[in-house]
Amino acid sequence: MIGFVVVSHSEALAEAAVDLAMQMIHGEAPPVRIASGADGGFGTDAAAIADAIDALADTDGVLIITDLGSAVLSSELALDLRTSTVPVRISDGPFVEGITAGLVRAATGGGLHEVATEVSSALAAKQAHAPAASMDAPTPGAASTAAADAAAGDVSVDAVLRNPMGLHSRPAALVVKTVGGFDADVSIANVTTGAGPASARSMIGLLALGAGGGATVRISASGPDAAAAVETVRRLVDDGFGELDQAPA
């Protein structure tokens, strides 16, 4: 599993962002180190960042997520100060959304490149529904038209989102965790609006579908475990992701 170094000018901000992200984790959480503040105040310290990287030397890689621009400069300097040889990448993704998306993807076994890509696109779910969002912007985790046809090829089922808020952050994180246990490529599309499909391994892609309560989604999969994966996700949907007072009849 990869680890994370969260670099912030404010320790309180970093702790709050990590705490929020941890609420989305189902199962084992990736290791996280916070490097924040300087001399007891606001700022960043390259030496502290280097120590945080070295503390994660036994992981499969380290992704650094920063808040403000100068934190990037401190992180770059830290790469020269560290003593470990663990692979490290400095993310260009957003702070709060990136930490959440990254931890969820890493918890399902995503590698350093996969997690870094997820973090980089972490604003897309918000941008997809903002009034000024570009209609040409691709949905993260979405397939091309040809790939979408292939994704629906092996097994596909439609289901109605029964929980009031639909596919929001917690259910999306649960879906990502669930499909990680299957040898299958799983995608979900919002049939009601035509959005997607999005990879079920991408929390940001699922959020960008904008699938609220009452929306019909299409769960598709291909691969050896396709049928089992689709059925398991369908049951999550029918069960309201555990957010209903009663189980479906």
**123-154 pLDDT tens trace:** 876 766 565 544 454 445 544 333 444 444 48
Please indicate, yes or no, if residue 140 is contained in any of the structural domains: no
**Residue 49 scores a pLDDT above 90:** yes
Tokens of 212: 């609220």
CA 164 centroid distance within chain? 22
**194-237 pLDDT tens trace:** 988 999 988 888 988 889 899 999 999 999 999 999 999 999 99
Q: Write the CA distances from 236 to 34, 156, 176, 209, integer angstroms.
A: 34, 15, 12, 17
Q: Which CATH number is 222's domain given?
A: 3.30.1340.10
**72-100 pLDDT tens trace:** 999 999 999 999 999 999 999 999 999 99
Please indicate, yes or no, if residue 133 is contained in any of the structural domains: no
Predicted pLDDT at 248:
43
Q: Give residue 226's domain range.
A: 145-242
Q: What percent of the chain shows pLDDT beyond 90?
A: 61
- Angle, helix 112-120 to helix 95-107, in steps of 10 degrees: 150
Known catalytic membership, residue 9? no
Catalytic, out of 9, 113, 129, 168: 168
Of the candidates 189, 242, 241, the residue with the CA atom closest to the CA atom of residue 216: 189
**27-46 pLDDT tens trace:** 889 999 999 877 667 889 99
- Do residues 14 and 101 share a domain? yes
Higher pLDDT, 38 or 17: 17
Higher pLDDT, 54 or 152: 54
Tokens of 150: 């292939």
Please indicate, yes or no, if residue 138 is contained in any of the structural domains: no
Q: Which CATH number is 35's domain given?
A: 3.40.50.510
Considering its fold, how many domains does the chain have in total? 2
pTM: 0.69
